[in-house]
Structure 1
Amino acid sequence: MRSTLRNLIPQALGTYEDKPREQWVFDYPAQVALTCTQIAWTSEVGVAFASLEKGYENALKDYNKKQIARLNALISLLLGNLSAGDRMKIMTICTIDVHARDVVAKMIQTKVENSQAFAWQSQLRHRWDEGKKHCFANICDAQLLYAYEYLGNTPRLVITPLTDRWAPHTSPCPDPVPCVPPW
């Protein structure tokens, strides 16, 4: 299962731009589609920041408009006939897309100007490393290898500013990793 996910993710990324995303999502299992949309979001925000740094002042605003259009296209799908699995996949991607839209909107509002800003670095950013043939999750200066664990086609927690924070006093430490408080 893990090797299948690891093999499907780069295939899905390779076809991500071939058709509208609201069609592309039906080509892959839920976990692959969700992971790839998160990888694409990281990459696309990176491109927007690169354009912003080159002087294109509306780069993030234009990307945010694209996010909203994509989200509306997925919402339109939810109004139609879908199998239970496809409906769950689309709803889950919508949940993650809403958070991604809100992150970009807040960066626009607070006038974030480069990819090194904490507002961006503090986000969970997925990326595919073509050289290592692996997916990584980055946040701040931490980099974790994506474990390709089975997540299933289930709903995700709605991400709010409160759920987006890590609360060390309420989070159990996973064994065998020693629990060292960040302070």
Structure 2
Amino acid sequence: MSPFRYRVLMVDDDEVVCKVGAAVLQSQGYEVLCANDGFTGLAALKQSLPDVVISDLQMPKMGGFEFLSVVRKRFPQIPVIAISGEFTSHDVPESILADAFFQKGQYAPPELFEKIASLLEGPIRARPEKPSKAAVWIPSATGDNYIAVTCTDCLRTFPVSLPLAPGTHTVACDFCFSEVMFQI
């Protein structure tokens, strides 16, 4: 009888990083699903929840900061590892909602395996009370006449027409009608 295979969702826009990362993780018995940006990662979460998420921070469309804020809000029990070449372990922004951080090219696979194992063995994070405000990340400058907002309840993305003045805005999700608050 084979042991249970843990699922890892790897989110990175670099196809080589995804392929190599998936091969390395699969060699250790993990089932790996790759996504090339945060939107694709959210779609993967709708299909099947992973046991661990590994995400790059700088990606097109929806980056890791945005993606991880939705993951932490909706699925606080899933351990998250952020990996990026943009930051060192000494200058990681406090706003990264991750349980661990690795700098690309500065760690060995055994370190990653050890961190994944410790996160899987750790206590499951309790689901927090629903806050009155949720962080929703949107592009600050686009060439379009709308911005894309992702609902933190149903994880669907919908357009909001521009222009919008700087400040806090509240809109109803086009799909589930939950209030989504965002700031420009």
Structure with the higher fraction of residues in helix conformation: 1
Normalised by the length of structure 2, the TM-score is 0.30
Structure with the higher fraction of residues in strand conformation: 2
Structure showing greater relative contact order (alpha-carbon pairs closer than 8 Å, 6 or more residues apart): 1
Normalised by the length of structure 1, the TM-score is 0.31
